[in-house]
Amino acid sequence: MPHSFELVAEYQEDVEQVHRAFGQESFWLAWLVKGDVDDASLDSIRVGPDGAIEVSSTQSVRRDQLPGIVAQLHKGQVQIKRQESWAPITNGHATGAIVGTVPGAPISLSGTGVLAPNPDGQGAQLKSQITIEVRVPLVGRKVEKFLSSELTEMLASRTDFTNAWVRENS
């Protein structure tokens, strides 16, 4: 059974500035270099004339760098393929979606999010609903919980990175 959870990110800058960062190749290249992986590539980024954003990336982690329970699910290096998309800003909000797969492993991730003004009036807030599914009897649930913890840490890191990147690049 898939594991679903909610994540909330608080940005110091407004929706427009955060959304603009998500559409910048330099943002993604800097973020991927910072990531805690062995290799990462920005496969494509497209920004439509209406402001819609589509980003594809691949991240690779050597098997010996994975926790034991995750390493059991896949032989060799693990590649994580991510597609993230953001709709244009409408009425001060932007919706997003993410899909993650691990080719050759029974793991999938999907999520949606809403980037909106922070309710306190300062900056922006991203509320995301994430679902992770690991289709392996007995250990799947443990791996899902481990991955949700890792994603929570990754979102906190990306939030800090985004706040700093927007400040430095505005």
Considering its fold, how many domains does the chain have in total?
1
Question: How does pLDDT run across 119-165, given as a tens digit for each residue?
Answer: 998 999 999 999 999 888 888 888 888 888 888 988 999 999 999 99
User: For position 26, which CATH number holds?
Assistant: 3.30.530.20
Between 114 and 35, name the one with better pLDDT.
114
Write the single-letter amino acid at 52: A
Residue 142 φ/ψ, nearest 5 degrees: -65, -40
Average pLDDT of every residue of the chain:
90
Residue 1: the pLDDT is 76
Nearest CA to 110 out of 122, 95, 128, 127 is that of 128
* pTM check: above 0.75: yes
The pLDDT confidence band at residue 65, using thresholds 50, 70 and 90, is low
**Bigger pLDDT: 5 vs 143:** 5
Instruction: Report the pLDDT value the prediction gives residue 70, as an integer from 0 to 100.
Output: 65
List the domain range (segments joined by +) for residue 110.
3-169
With beta carbons less than 8 A apart as the criterion, state whether 117 and 16 touch.
no
DSSP letters of the chain? --EEEEEEEEESS-HHHHHHHHT-HHHHHHHHHHSSSSEEEEEEEEE-TTS-EEEEEEEEE-GGGS-HHHHTT-SS-EEEEEEEEEPPPBTTBEEEEEEEE-TTSSEEEEEEEEEEE-TTSSSEEEEEEEEEEE--TTTHHHHHHHHHHHHHHHHHHHHHHHHHHHHHH-
Q: Is the pLDDT of residue 37 over 80?
A: no
How high is the pLDDT of residue 79? 85
